Amino acid sequence: MTKQVKILFIGDIVGRPGRNAVKHYLDALHSCEEKKYDFIIANVENASHGFGLTEKNHNELAQAGIDCFTSGNHIWDKKDIYSYINNSDRLIRPWNYPKGTYGVGYRIFDVKNTKIAVMNFLGRTFMNPVDSPWEIIEKEIENIKQEAPIVIVDFHAEATAEKICFGRFCSEHKISAVIGTHTHVQTADEKILNDYTAYITDAGFCGAYNSVIGMGYEGSLKRLKTSLPERFDIDESPITELNAVSMSFDAVSGQAQSIERIQIIKDYSEENT
pLDDT in tens, the chain (273 residues): 458 999 999 999 999 999 999 999 999 998 876 668 999 999 999 999 999 999 999 999 999 999 999 999 999 999 999 999 999 999 999 999 999 999 999 999 999 899 999 999 999 999 999 999 999 999 999 999 999 999 999 999 999 999 999 999 999 999 999 999 999 999 999 999 999 999 999 999 999 999 999 999 999 999 999 998 888 899 988 999 999 999 999 999 999 999 999 999 999 886 644
Residue 234 to residue 172: CA distance in whole angstroms: 40
Q: Give residue 229's pLDDT.
A: 83
Residue 98 to residue 14: CA distance in whole angstroms: 26
Domains of the chain, earliest start first: 4-264 (3.60.21.10)
Which one from 24, 30, 49, 74 is the annotated catalytic residue? 74
Strands 12-13, 205-208: parallel, antiparallel or unpaired by DSSP?
parallel
Q: Give residue 34's pLDDT.
A: 62
Tally of CB atoms within 10 A around 160: 15
Contacts of 53 by beta carbon, 8 Å cutoff, 6+ apart: 44, 45, 47, 69, 71, 75, 78, 81, 91
Residue 204 to residue 240: CA distance in whole angstroms: 13
Q: Give residue 273's pLDDT.
A: 43
Do 272 and 238 form a contact (C-beta atoms < 8 A)? no
> 74 catalytic, yes or no?
yes
The structure's pTM equals 0.95
**pLDDT tens, position by position, 190-216:** 999 999 999 999 999 999 999 999 999
Tell me how many degrees the CA angle 190-30-87 measures, rounded to the nearest 5: 80
Q: Give residue 271's pLDDT.
A: 63
Strands 239-250, 256-267: parallel, antiparallel or unpaired by DSSP?
antiparallel
Q: Give residue 267's pLDDT.
A: 94
Q: Give residue 106's pLDDT.
A: 98
Q: Give residue 268's pLDDT.
A: 86
**pLDDT tens, position by position, 109-141:** 999 899 999 999 999 999 999 999 999 999 999
